Amino acid sequence: MDNRTGFRRRGHGYLADQARSALGITGEVRVLAEIPLPMVHTAFGLAVVAAEVLLRPEAVGLDRSAAADAGLAILTGLVLVAYDFLIYPSDSRPGPVGTALPMAAVLSFGTLLAIAVLPLPIRIAGGMIAAVVIGGVPRLAGRRALGKEGWFTRLVRDVSGIAVLAPVLLGGASPTLPLRLRLAAVVAVVFLVSLDSLRTERLSIRLTILFALLVAAIVLGGSAVVGANSAHTGLRAAVLLVLWYGARGVAGAVGGPLRRPGLVAEYAVFVVAAGAGLIWINTTHL
């Protein structure tokens, strides 16, 4: 029991760690035992997803649903920060940036629900992804805070970011959503996903925010250029995803500690390819 807060800060992992300590076992296993299991986060994620379903556009209207989704995203960030402050040890506490991807997942699922033409199985899959991201990403952020983020953990974070980003980029190219809501969703989610991704590159917090805003502005411009059309919506979203991947990669390579020109050129290829795709879509009027 933590005498400062009155909350139990460690669960079965901590008790197992005490047993290892009694046997003389130390090292990384002991450090990682300080990170709680994501059961509470996942339960909270399921509750948020259920609330979004109840407040979907078909039930309360598009504008009210969009406002509710924004409120739920902010609430998600605040609850996760407060819970992690009380439960996590100080050296493995993810911090506010660790809530960026869960907040983006809330907005992403809300956008998915607003695209009326999507079938029910895709909506269900989107809800499951949102709940898993809200539940699992804070634990991954705890590993990052401890400096124990290996290649597999980074891969899981990247895949989670793409899974969160894809529905929003699809919504950004869908004519079923009003222009202001499409562009607002694109800016907000691209910024949050980029914030989480760039933080993994060990950038300072100021550079992380600055480059995340820059990447969001670039993808917003691409979304405005590609336009919205019911035909080839998936192709338009794919081009925007390539644009985000390249811009985020260039930002991480430029602002990172190594600043390797070869890596910058590698990611710049994706930006050029996405730009060519945008030009091709406009010239062929797809």
pTM value? 0.81
Q: Is residue 251 a contact partner of residue 196, using CB atoms and an 8 Å limit?
A: no
| Tally of residues, the chain | 286
pLDDT of residue 18: 55
State the DSSP H helix or E strand holding residue 133, giving kind and residue range, or none if neither. helix 120-145
Distance, CA of 16 to chain centre: 31
Q: Is the pLDDT of residue 26 over 50?
A: no
Q: Is the pLDDT of residue 23 over 80?
A: no
State the DSSP H helix or E strand holding residue 21, giving kind and residue range, or none if neither. helix 12-22
Report the pLDDT averaged over residues 63-86. 90
Residue 253, CA distances (Å) to 107, 158, 211, 265, 274 in order: 28, 16, 11, 9, 18
The model's pLDDT over 211-250, given as tens digits with 9 standing for 90+, comes to: 999 999 999 999 988 877 777 888 999 999 999 999 999 9
Report the pLDDT averaged over residues 13-29. 49
Of the ranges 30-34, 127-131, 186-190, 211-215, which one carries the lowest mean pLDDT score?
30-34
